[in-house]
Amino acid sequence: MPTESAFHRRIFLFLARAFQQQGLEVTGRCGLLSEAEMRSWISEKKPCAIFEMNRVKDEIPILHELNILHISWVVDMEGRDESHITGSDITYTFDSGWVEYFNTGGFTAWMPPGTSIETFFPAKENRNKEVEFCFMGHIPKPWSESELSRPLISKSRSINFGDLLKEYSEFMEVNTYKETNHESCARIIDGMLERLLDHPVEMARDMYYDLLIRTKRMSNRTELLDFAIGKSDSIAIYGSPNWLDWPKYQRFYKKFIDNEAEMNFIHQHSTINLHDGVCFHFRSIDCMASGGLLFWYNDNYGDKYNNYQWKNSKYREGLHTFFQKQFNYFEFKWLDFNDVYEEAKQLNYWGSKAQIDTLQIIKSYHTWECRARNIMKDIVAL
């Protein structure tokens, strides 16, 4: 796993146990190995395959030298564009829409997260709802003066990051993210930068990350919470303390949680569990396995800026591939939140046919053991 975070430790343990149940010996750690560390580890453990989240084989060339099967699960682009995702024998994508844009040189497929039904499961009795809207997730801090003042300099001109951010944000308010990928957005940024500086300039990866990922995460999360604020004051936000730096939302912030039992409890005590971004997410499937009602903001077909005016929308796999919307879970778009909210309010989800059906689909097709079995099939098929 990429880091020592509580989230990555949890996923590591779930996946390790799932592979062990397939009869495999598993060793690993949280935190990526350097090339020297990788050589030593391979010499000692003699693995038949290496599975990493986010890092691809071309980013650690020693694996080519040692001819080790490498499996990459790209969950976060980390400021890279699609041309950087290369070299692994098997590459899985977190977002189903990424598959068509990757040219990895190996087998490429969408792999949504699984869940642990031993960890996330409904209580035997109906839980009293303590809050109407719950959101679990991170938000970046608002832009600081030091971030906005980062210099971008060419031979003849200089601007700061805030100038480029303003230009890019205004462009994306008129246009849409949904007809672009990371590489095409990066080209848009490079074109703006060349025009503003009158010369091509290579920008640091952290600035690309800020423009490609951070801006969208800020807008997604604030749009989502604004829907809830328009309906209720009964809102609970769990995530990083960064929420306290957002005056509009700080009164709803509770705390950071990394305890699975507590997450399970909160899902069940919330009438509506809000979710945005990639629909088939770790948070969404864990919530559904807990017996909670998921409410997903689907901005794939327009948001408050473009209001469905673009026509070239493509079908994207997601929760709707396996579950029935407005039955197993609810999804809403920018223009129909009120209608979907009223529909969901009328549903007594706990103990209903919808909840029972959801739990059975998860048990049959969406546990971490299911994911491990599919990975083993893909390896055999190479």
Q: Give the residue from 183, 199, 216 where a domain finishes.
A: 216
Would you state the structure tokens that stand for residue 292, as one six-digit string?
């909670």
Q: From first to last of its 382 residues, what are the pLDDT tens digits of the chain?
A: 999 999 999 999 999 999 999 999 999 999 999 999 999 999 999 999 999 999 999 999 999 999 999 999 999 988 888 999 999 999 999 999 899 999 999 999 999 999 999 999 999 877 678 999 999 999 999 999 999 999 999 888 999 999 999 999 888 777 655 556 778 888 889 999 999 999 888 889 899 999 988 998 898 899 999 999 999 999 999 999 999 999 999 999 999 998 999 999 999 999 999 999 889 999 999 999 999 999 999 887 655 555 444 444 567 899 999 999 999 999 998 888 999 999 998 888 999 999 999 999 999 999 999 999 999 999 999 9
Q: Are 163 and 207 in contact (CB under 8 A)?
A: no
Round to the nearest angstrom and report the end-to-end CA distance of the chain.
Answer: 24
Whether residues 239 and 313 share a domain: the answer is yes
Q: Give the residue from 176, 196, 216 where a domain finishes.
A: 216
Whether residues 230 and 194 share a domain: the answer is no
Whether residues 186 and 234 share a domain: the answer is no
Whether residues 26 and 65 share a domain: the answer is yes
Whether residues 358 and 229 share a domain: the answer is yes
CA distances from 148 to 8, 159, 165, 192, 211 (A): 30, 10, 8, 16, 12
Whether residues 89 and 16 share a domain: the answer is yes
Residues of the domain holding 44: 6-113+373-381
Instruction: Answer yes or no: is 123 within a domain.
Output: no
Query: At 353, is the secondary structure helix, strand, or coil?
Result: helix
- Give the whole-angstrom CA distance, residue 199 versus residue 155: 7
Predicted local distance difference test score (pLDDT) of residue 125: 79
- CATH (domain of 223): 3.40.50.2000
Instruction: Answer yes or no: is 118 within a domain.
Output: no
Alpha helices by DSSP H, listed for the chain, are 6-20, 35-45, 62-65, 145-148, 161-174, 182-197, 205-209, 215-229, 260-268, 282-289, 337-345, 353-365, 368-381
Whether this prediction's pTM lies above 0.75 is answered by yes
Per the structure, the count of domains in the chain is 3
Whether residues 210 and 353 share a domain: the answer is no
